[in-house]
Amino acid sequence: MVVMLALTIVAFDDIFVSSQSSGSAISAAKLEEKPKIYFVVDEPDSYFLKAITNEGEHVFLGLFGDTTIDELITLHNTSNVSYLGEFFVVYRFSIDAFCFEPYLLQVAIVGWVLLIIYGLISKKSFKASRNRLSVR
C-alpha cells in the first residue's frame, strides 16, 4: 500500500511539474557554414539568447508571443538566424505536458484498483477461514 501511495504521489507530482512546462519552446543549433537564406537579429530577447547559449536545450516559453523570434521566423520565412556574425538555426515547437509520461497515472490507478480487489478478496478469505475455525 505504501508503494501504491508513493506511485500515486509521483504520478500527480509529475503531471503538475510537466504542466508547468507545457506550452511552446525554442531550441537552437549553431551552423558551421553561412546559409543561403537567413535574417539578422540585432536586438535579441532573453529566450533567443538562452537558446543560442544553451545549444540543443529546450527553452520553454509560456506562449510563442512571449518571444519575438517566432514572428521573425514567420516574417522572413526561414529559421536561419545571424547574430553577432554567427549563424544558428532556431527550432520552434509546442510541448504537450501529458506526452512525456502518460502511463504513470494509469499505472497508479490500476494499482489502486488491484489493491482494493486484493483487499476485498483477502477480507472475504479471512472471514471464511475464521468461520471454519469457529465451527470446529
What is the per-residue pLDDT across 18-75, written as a single tens digit (0 to 9) for each? 444 557 888 999 999 999 999 999 999 899 999 999 998 888 876 656 788 888 998 9
Specify the pLDDT at position 20. Answer: 47
Domain boundaries along the sequence of the chain: 1-21+100-136, 23-95
Decide if 20 contacts 60 (C-beta within 8 A): no
Specify the pLDDT at position 109. Answer: 74
Kindly tell me if the per-residue pLDDT of 126 is higher than 70.
no
Beta strands in 7-100 (DSSP E): 23-31, 39-40, 59-61, 80-83, 86-95
**Residue given cell 520552434 in the structure block:** 92
For the stretch 70-88, pLDDT in tens is 889 989 999 999 999 999 9
Residue 32's SS3 state is coil
Output 107 or 36, whichever has higher pLDDT: 36
- At 127, the pLDDT band (50, 70, 90 cuts) reads low
- How far apart CA 10 and CA 105 sit, in angstroms, is 9
Output 116 or 6, whichever has higher pLDDT: 116
Specify the pLDDT at position 122. Answer: 78
